[in-house]
Structure 1
C-alpha cells in the first residue's frame, strides 16, 4: 500500500491496553483530539480548564498539523506539557526516522488519492519543522498511545484511533452505525470493563451510547465540524452536565458530552494562511472547511443514545 494508506504494525494496541490501572484520576475529564496546530483553539480550551478547577485534560493525538512555523509548533508543545498528551499518527510519524509511512493516517480506500498525497506533503513540511527543533522528535515519540483515566470512580479509555489501532477508523460514523460493530463494542466494553472510549482521528465527530457505555469521537478540536458555525469540538466526561454542551449521553453514572470550541476564527485563518499560502497542500485540503465548515449536522453525529442539548443545535444551516 502507498504512503498515507498503510497502517504500520506498531500502531496496533495490545489487547489488554485498557485493562491497566488508571494513570490519571479526576472528577472532570476533557479529551481534546485533533487540535491540528490551532493555538487559538488552545487558548479557548485553556480558559475552559481554568474555569473548572480540578479538571484534567488529555490531548489524544494530532495536536500538530498546520503549525509548520517552528515558533508556533514549539509554543503549542510547551503548553501541552501542562496536561496529558498522547501520540496520534502525526506525532508518531514525526518521531519516526525515515518516511516509509508518510502521514500515517491509514486512509481508507474511499479517500481520494489526491487527498492522501497532500497529507503526505503536509507531513513532509512538518517533518522539516521538527528536524529543526533539537530533541523534539524524541519528545513526541515518548508519548503513550493510550491512557486509562478514572473519572469519578469510573474507568475511561482514551486513544487516538479506535480500541485496536492508533490510526484505526472503526470509530467513525459509518462504522459505528453498523449492527455488527455495535455488537463487537458491546462485547469489548463488557470484557474490558471500560465505561467510555474517547477518540478522534477521523476528523469527523460521532457518538454512540447504550446507557451503560459510550463511544465518543470529537472529530476536530481545531477545525469546524458542522454546518452551523466555525467552531471546534472537544469531549467532556463527568458526573454532572455542562451548560455549554451541544449533545450528551449517560454512560452509567457518567455524563458524556461534546462541547464547542469557539476560537478566534479571524486570527486562526490569518495564522494558517501565513504558514500555508494559496496552492499549498494544506490550503487545497482544508481552507474551504476552515472558512465554511462542513455539510454535517450535529444530529447526524448522534448515532444512538446521545441527545441534542444546546440552542446551538437549533441553528443548523440548511445546505
Structure 2
C-alpha cells in the first residue's frame, strides 16, 4: 500500500457514499446559515450571534473546520461549547484530530498540486500543534469523531445538500473556483443536482468563495467564515439560504423560490488578532501562512461569481467593527 502524502492525499474514508444525500432531511426551516471554515475565530461566532439575534428563526449548520487557529485548549473547548446548540458537521480538521491512529494524511486538506509545498508544510505543522491541543482535551475526541460529514435539510420546502468539500469527498476540491470554471465540471455538477433532487449545494473547504447557478440548482461555497475572503477586507463570509433576501447580502441569486446569498461576518478583528498573536508567535506556521491574509485579506478581488444571473447587491463595503 502506497503511503499517503501528508496534506496532499486523502484516506479512503473521506469518500462520501453515493447515497449520502438521499436520506430524509435532518430538519426543515425557512432560513438557513451555513458556516464553513470558522477556524477557531470566537469573534466570528460573536458576529454570527448578532445575525441570529436579528433573525432568530434561522437555523445554523457549521460546515466543518470549526477549529484551526484555536491552539489554546481553553479556546478550543469554548468553540465546541458554543457550537453545540447547532448542527455541527466535521471537516478535514476535525476528522484528522479525532483519529485514534494517525493514517499519515497530515492536515487532511488534500491540497492540489497547484498549491505550493510550503503552504502544505505549514498546514501540516498547524495540524500537529492542534494534535497537542486535543491531547489536553481527551473528552472531546469522541464527539469530533461522531459528527456526520454531510447533511440534507429543507429550506422553504426545497432540498439543500451540505458538505465540507464536494459531493464526492470530505475534502474534495471539485467545488473550487478553478474546477467550476470548466464546462465539463459544471455539466457533471448539474447532472448530480438533478439526480439527487437537490436545489442548493452548500460547500466550503477551499477558502475561496463561489456562487454558481445551473439549470438544476445552485452551488454556493462560502470560502471562510473565520477569515477574510477578498483583498482589502477583514470580514468572513457565510452562506444564507432563505425564502426571502437578506438586507446585508453582498451578492446572491434567486432560484426555485429561494434566495442563495453570501453574508459578511463582520467580526472584531482587533480582538481576533490579539487572540491569534497570543497563540501563534511570529515564527509559527500559522503566523507565516495566514497572518498577512488575516490583516489585509487575500489577493482575490471581490469577484467570486460565475455566470448565473446572480444579483450583485448594493450593500456598502463591509469592514470589521469593534464591539
Secondary structure of the 1:148 match is strand
Residue aligned with 1:311, SS: coil
The unaligned stretches of length 5 or more in structure 2 are none
Alignment-derived partner of residue 133 in structure 1: 137
Matches within 5 A, 1:128-207: 128-207=132-211
How many residues are paired up? 314
3-state secondary structure, aligned to 1:304: coil
Name the counterpart of 2:280: 276
Counterpart Cα distance in 2 of 1:30 and 1:211:
23
Residue 218 of structure 1 is matched in structure 2 by 222
Q: Which of 22, 34, 37 is the matching residue for 1:31?
A: 34
Tell whether 2:202 aligns with 1:208. Answer: no
Q: Secondary structure at the match of 1:31?
A: strand
Partner-residue secondary structure (3-state), 1:149: strand
> How much does 1:314 deviate?
10
Superposed, 1:1-319 pairs within 5 Å as: 1-99=4-102, 100-210=104-214, 212-298=216-302, 300-305=303-308, 306-312=310-316
Is 2:194–2:216's contact at 8 Å kept on the other side of the alignment?
A: no
Deviation >4 Å, runs of 4+ = none
Structure 1 position 251, deviation (Å) = 2.3
Gaps of 5+ in 1: none
SS in 2 for 1:223: coil
Secondary structure of the residue aligned to 2:316 is helix
TM-fit CA distance, 1:195: 0.4
Deviations 1:207-229 (A, max 9, x none): 10136410000000000000242
Q: Structure 2 length as normaliser, TM-score? A: 0.95
Whether the 8 Å CA contact 2:248–2:315 is kept in 1: the answer is no
CA spacing shift, 1:182–1:313, aligned 2, 3 Å? farther
Contact 1:28–1:56 (CA<8 Å) still a contact in 2?
yes
Contact 1:224/1:231 (8 A) holds in 2: yes
TM-score between both structures, scaled by the size of structure 1: 0.96
SS at structure 1 position matched to 2:151? strand
Residues 17 and 146, structure 1, Cα contact 8 Å, conserved in 2: yes
